[in-house]
């Protein structure tokens, strides 16, 4: 192995170490003192509840672990958005579990909390997955109520989704394991079945203090909306549990009796490990986002037997299109080739750039996968579409539009892995978040932005420099360099995968070695939802 491989490996493993350290911090929620206080009430934390609920030693994936990361500083922060979302198995059935983290602001809803809950429901709706809510929340975080309360993508959309999922026959089970106040009280009661934990769980539209202020009635919270009240008097809840574990055991028994589901019928055979070592990915992926590498070497370390069949191998070489299997599932791979390639006409094409022919090839391949009911996997490392007179005269806008059209109208499930660059319209054409991938994750090496930090800083520098010169400021080389570095530093922070994950532009940042698991579990989830719509490109300029 050459020295560059070793340098790349060291760099990527440092990025992985940073990821693991950040995850450890995030999983502490509100911190040790608040966890201890939570335990003193006889309650499990959100993560402990999920771990107890899911089958032991089974696979699981966490959605939005970094939601809210480095946000809401003036409000004390909101680790994981104050809610934990995991896809896993309960009694062998794949489910999505949503658990409020009451160690973070008593489980109050920040704007990102609402967005994360809506993302969990979106996954349940798209894949017809049973969804379990473990409720322990003080309701809307009042200092930010204007950013969480009234709009279409805000808090109220969650209850609308409860109703929609019920009409679709998607199982929803809610356990009230702590506070459940005001509008938040509708979520568990709009679920199919609701449990409540005795003495620690409570549901009411208004707590005792507000009742006293509003109508003058004096009553304690337990009598107002505790487990006995709602199980024996109001009939609001269906099961009374003695403690957290009893409630979770009841959920397990309920899930265990759900009937089988109609399958989409995606092709799967026995899983085979890649022949090429997946660990090599750390050495293949270059330290610099500008350096070239062969994406086929990455694919070999992601697919079963390291075996794939290329579609139009010699044509449009800056995009690789191939059929393969991942943990036994048949997939169609659309990947940006990151090395310089030479066409049959003797022309050189830059890796990571989408040219006319590669866009045309990808469009045709996506249509083929839809025709044959094969899920699509996009491996992004793209700087955008080719620019310049030759590309424009060749109709790059039209060819790019055809590719975006195919991605938009695809009816088979799509999964996006952001390996490196994800810039500009390249993000869109390669199935960015706006194009409804069932799951979208990033490696620690990923960057998401309109353009790279270096390019953006050069553009912004010229704008800012011109503005300041109009005001009479004289620029020295040192001053220009200092301004460039300031702009680049600010922009680089925004292209970080953590910046994207904090805002749920991606579902997770993952170890590259977990990619196969994420895709496999994603396709298994998608297999719960038969395809009901025909693939149709609409009006397409050929």
What share of the chain has pLDDT > 70, as a percent? 99
H-state helical runs in 27-127: 32-40, 46-53, 111-127
pLDDT of residue 1: 57
CB 529 within 8 A of CB 127: yes
Residue with the larger pLDDT of the pair 454 and 106: 106
> Which two three-digit tokens encode residue 148?
């969480």
* Cβ-Cβ contacts under 8 Å for 296 (sequence gap 6 or more): 320, 337
Q: What is the mean pLDDT of residues 21-31?
A: 95
Question: What's the token pair of residue 314?
Answer: 């010699």
Dihedral sign of CA atoms 322, 324, 327, 329 in order: positive
Distance between CA 431 and CA 376 in Å, rounded? 10
Q: What is the dihedral of CA 280, 282, 283, 285, to 10 degrees?
A: 110
pLDDT digits (tens, 9 = 90+) for 42-93: 999 999 999 999 999 999 999 999 999 999 988 889 999 999 999 999 999 9
Residue 21: φ, ψ to 5°: -65, -40
Statement: residue 541 has pLDDT above 70: no
Q: What integer is the mean pLDDT of 485-492?
A: 80
Cα-based angle 378, 381, 384 (whole degrees, multiple of 5): 100
User: How far apart, in whole angstroms, are the C-alpha atoms of residue 513 and residue 508?
Assistant: 14
Q: Tokens in use for 393? A: 């005269």
Q: What pLDDT sits at residue 539? A: 73
The per-residue pLDDT of the chain, averaged, comes to 92
- pLDDT(457) > 80: no
Strands 61-63 and 83-90: antiparallel
pLDDT score at 115: 95
Nearest Cα to 381, choosing from 355, 416, 357? 416
What is the distance in angstroms between the CA of the first residue and the CA of the last residue of the chain?
46
Q: What is the DSSP letter of 140?
A: B
User: Which pair of tokens denotes residue 194?
Assistant: 């609701």
Using DSSP bridges, classify how beta strands 376-382 and 353-354 pair: parallel, antiparallel or unpaired: unpaired
Window from 64-73, 132-141, 283-292 with minimum mean pLDDT? 132-141
Reduced to 3 states (helix: H, G, I; strand: E, B; else coil), residue 444 is coil
Measured distance CA(277)–CA(297) in Å, rounded: 10
Query: What's the CA gap between 138 and 113, in Å, rounded?
Result: 12
What's the DSSP call for residue 538? -
Q: With bands split at pLDDT 50, 70 and 90, how would you rate the model's confidence at 266? A: very high
Mean pLDDT for 143-149 is 84
Residue 177 banded pLDDT, cuts 50, 70, 90: very high
Q: For residue 168, what pLDDT is reported? A: 96
Q: What is the pLDDT of residues 309-363, one digit of tens each?
A: 999 999 999 999 999 999 999 999 999 999 988 887 878 888 889 999 999 999 9
Phi, psi dihedral angles at 489 (to 5 degrees): -60, -45
- Residue 253: Cβ within 10 Å count: 10
Residue in this structure with the two tokens 């496999």, named with its chain if needed: 520
Instruction: Count CB neighbours of 277 within 10 A.
Output: 12
**Tens of pLDDT along 496-520?**
999 999 999 999 999 999 999 999 9
Q: pTM of the full predicted structure? A: 0.94
Cβ atoms of residues 176 and 194 within 8 Å: yes
- The pLDDT of residue 348 is 82
DSSP state of 191: S
Q: Are 173 and 130 in contact (CB under 8 A)?
A: yes
Q: Kindly state the average pLDDT of the residues 471-481.
A: 78
Q: Is the pLDDT of residue 540 over 70?
A: no
Other beta carbons within 10 Å of 465 = 16
- 75 within 8 A of 110, measured Cβ to Cβ: yes
Q: Tell me the two tokens of residue 131.
A: 């969804």
């Amino acid at each position: 192995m050459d020295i560059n491989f070793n340098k790349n490996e060291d760099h990527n493993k440092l990025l992985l170490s940073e990821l693991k350290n950040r995850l450890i911090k995030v999983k502490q929620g509100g911190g040790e003192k608040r966890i201890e206080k939570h335990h003193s009430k006889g309650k499990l934390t959100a993560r402990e509840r999920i771990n107890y609920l899911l089958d032991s030693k089974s696979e699981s994936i966490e959605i939005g672990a970094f939601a809210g990361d480095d946000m809401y500083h003036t409000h004390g922060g909101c680790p994981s958005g104050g809610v934990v979302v995991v896809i896993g198995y309960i009694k062998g059935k794949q489910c999505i579990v949503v658990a409020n983290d009451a160690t973070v602001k008593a489980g109050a809803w920040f704007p990102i909390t609402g967005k994360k809950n809506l993302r969990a429901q979106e996954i349940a709706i798209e894949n017809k997955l049973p969804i379990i809510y473990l409720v322990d929340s003080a309701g809307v975080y009042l200092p930010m109520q204007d950013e969480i309360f009234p709009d279409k993508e805000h808090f109220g959309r969650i209850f609308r989704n409860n109703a929609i999922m019920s009409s679709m026959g998607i199982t929803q089970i809610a356990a009230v394991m702590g506070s459940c106040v005001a509008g938040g009280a509708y979520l568990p009661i709009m679920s199919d079945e609701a449990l409540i934990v005795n003495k620690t769980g409570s549901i009411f539209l208004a707590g005792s203090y507000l009742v006293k202020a509003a109508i003058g009635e004096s009553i304690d919270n337990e009598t107002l909306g505790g487990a006995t009240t709602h199980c024996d008097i109001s009939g609001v809840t269906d099961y009374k549990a003695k403690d957290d574990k009893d409630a979770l055991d009841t959920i397990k028994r309920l899930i265990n009796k759900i009937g089988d589901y109609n399958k989409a019928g995606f092709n799967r055979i026995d899983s085979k490990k890649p022949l090429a070592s997946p660990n090599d990915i750390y050495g293949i992926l270059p330290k610099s986002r500008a350096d070239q590498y062969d994406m086929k070497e990455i694919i070999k370390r992601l697919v079963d037997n390291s075996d794939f069949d290329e579609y139009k191998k010699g044509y449009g070489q800056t995009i690789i299109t191939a059929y393969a299997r991942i943990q036994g599932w048949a997939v169609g791979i659309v990947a940006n080739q990151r090395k310089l390639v030479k066409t049959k006409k003797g022309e050189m094409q830059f890796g990571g750039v989408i040219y006319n022919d590669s866009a045309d090839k990808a469009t045709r391949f996506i249509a083929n996968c839809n025709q044959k009911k094969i899920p699509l996997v996009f491996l992004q490392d793209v700087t955008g579409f080719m620019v310049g007179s030759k590309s424009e005269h060749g109709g790059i806008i039209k060819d790019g539009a055809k590719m975006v059209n195919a991605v938009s109208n695809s009816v088979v499930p799509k999964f996006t892995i952001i390996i490196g660059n994800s810039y500009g319209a390249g993000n869109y054409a390669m199935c960015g978040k706006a194009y409804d991938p069932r799951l979208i994750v990033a490696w620690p090496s990923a960057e998401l932005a309109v353009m790279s930090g270096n390019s953006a800083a050069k553009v912004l520098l010229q704008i800012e420099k011109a503005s300041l010169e109009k005001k009479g400021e004289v620029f020295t080389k040192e001053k220009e360099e200092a301004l460039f570095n300031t702009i680049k530093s600010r922009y680089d922070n925004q292209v970080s995968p953590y910046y994207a994950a904090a805002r749920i532009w991606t579902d997770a940042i993952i170890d590259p070695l977990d990619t196969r698991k994420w895709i496999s579990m994603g396709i298994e989830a998608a297999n719960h939802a038969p395809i009901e719509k025909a693939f149709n490109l609409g009006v397409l300029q050929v």
